Amino acid sequence: MHNNETIDDLRDVLIRAGFVRCDIAACNCGSWHHRYGYPERFRDFENALSDADHPPCNANGNSVFRALTELIAERDTLQSENERLRVALDSVRQKCCDRESNRYEVEMIATEALKEPK
């Protein structure tokens, strides 16, 4: 019985010190967390999203999840655009470096390469 009393005493010490048993399904660590640590962690996410110009606001329902989803969608769009520009640049380099080209011809090749794919 001595072990159970020790465990109960230790649990009481944690509770009095402001700790709670982790019950977050996503965390699932089974450990103890300081009760007041969660708001600070959440604010860290909000601040990071604000720094990336995607703060939780009325437009996204003040939802961190929606703001993060918007940021990810923006990243995907920019990655896609970056790939399109990389392919266009490779095309221009290939066409212009193979032979002597004048400025007008290079501009025409670049303009054609940058057109949106159909």
**Residue 20, phi then psi, degrees to nearest 5:** -130, 155
Asked, for residue 18, whether it belongs to a domain, the answer is: yes
Asked, for residue 93, whether it belongs to a domain, the answer is: no
Asked, for residue 23, whether it belongs to a domain, the answer is: yes
Domain boundaries, position 9: 1-35
Asked, for residue 15, whether it belongs to a domain, the answer is: yes
Asked, for residue 88, whether it belongs to a domain, the answer is: no
Asked, for residue 1, whether it belongs to a domain, the answer is: yes
Asked, for residue 6, whether it belongs to a domain, the answer is: yes
Asked, for residue 26, whether it belongs to a domain, the answer is: yes
One pLDDT digit (tens) per residue for the chain, 118 residues: 457 778 888 889 888 888 888 777 767 677 888 777 667 777 888 899 999 999 988 888 888 889 999 999 999 999 999 998 888 888 877 777 656 667 777 777 777 777 766 6
Q: How many domains does the chain have?
A: 1
pTM above 0.85, yes or no: no
